[in-house]
Structure 1
Amino acid sequence: MVLLFVSVLQDLFAIAQDQPFRFPATFTFVLRAFSTLEGIGYILDPDFSFAKIAAPYAQELLDIRQRQRTGTQIVEEIRKQADDARSYTMSMPYRVNRIEEFVKQLESGDLKLRVRVLESERAARKATILQMATMYTVLGGTLLNLGVTFTSQGNQVIANGSFIGAGVFLTLTLRSMQRVQRLDKFEKMI
């Protein structure tokens, strides 16, 4: 029986190579499952035949399908399939032309594909926030340094303004770092 099954598979694959259609990918898994079942059955019982067991079920399925459809339903289904084939055949040159237009536009650079990568967008947002935090830190540190310098020179009004500016930039730095922490927390949740 296994040899019969193997020869049927070889015939099916030979037919598939000569024809323009292809079997669905799941067909391979179904055949593998059937061959596994037959192999297990044969090991357990040398007289086991998967075909003999499956035949009544397959016949029942065929009988049910034939009973459910009347002659007019079959004719209607064939007409619908013919209409579908005609419409696909009629629209095929248009579709091929559209594909050729797209390819020409891509080759000439007239059409550009834009792909969004959310991870890189989040990383860019985080980098921007960190860059601003660095800038705030540098400006705050500079103003703090100026405040200390003006205090030592006795110019207290300008020194106080510098200290206030340094405090503002320190606050902005802390807020930026909080935003970075929120982004990190959000990324961990994803």
Structure 2
Amino acid sequence: MRNKLLPTMVAAGMMMYGVSAFAADPLPSDSFGKGTINFDGTITNAPCDITGGGDSAVHFGSIASKNVTATESHPQPFSIRLSNCTLTGAGAPGSNSQAATDITKATVTFSLGGTGSLGTGGDVLHASGDTNVGIKVKNDTSGKFLKLDGTHTTDNDIPLITSASSQSLNFTAYLVSDFASGGAVKPGDFSASAVYTLAYN
């Protein structure tokens, strides 16, 4: 009986030794790098999602000061992309307790963000920095330059395709010389921000 137990005990001891040998040398927890991933978002009762979230960036790049004039130049297109839309029957009920109506248009209103300031006309966003440049925004659908002071007209409206689950609201940003902010265009960095508000009708 003793002879039969001994090989088993030796084998078990070797297995335990092997396990303890591996366990004694764990990989460092940070040996391959680490980082933080932040998650955020906004829940709304809107009929569409905004693809990629609400924020976006428009990059004008590096531009010679002599090429920025009072005439709008250096167009940079940008879009608000809608997805997962349900527009049929998603509007407010009609008169006399009628069924809900279809949503047929979006209205996008722009207002001053955290950087820059507005000109007296409300349609030029003075960029921060010492470059004396401004930014204007055109609605590609109406072809009109928009106020950036939080007000809106029919120029801000964009028709929607009721049956489409995804569609884009397209705009173009332009640079202009902004003499009201202090003189001729000068070299340097500039930045500005605007906040948009989206409504459905």
TM-score normalised according to structure 2 size: 0.21
> Between Structure 1 and Structure 2, whose CA radius of gyration is higher?
1
TM-score for the superposition, normalised by structure 1: 0.22
Higher strand share: 2
Higher RCO (Cα < 8 Å, 6 or more apart): 2
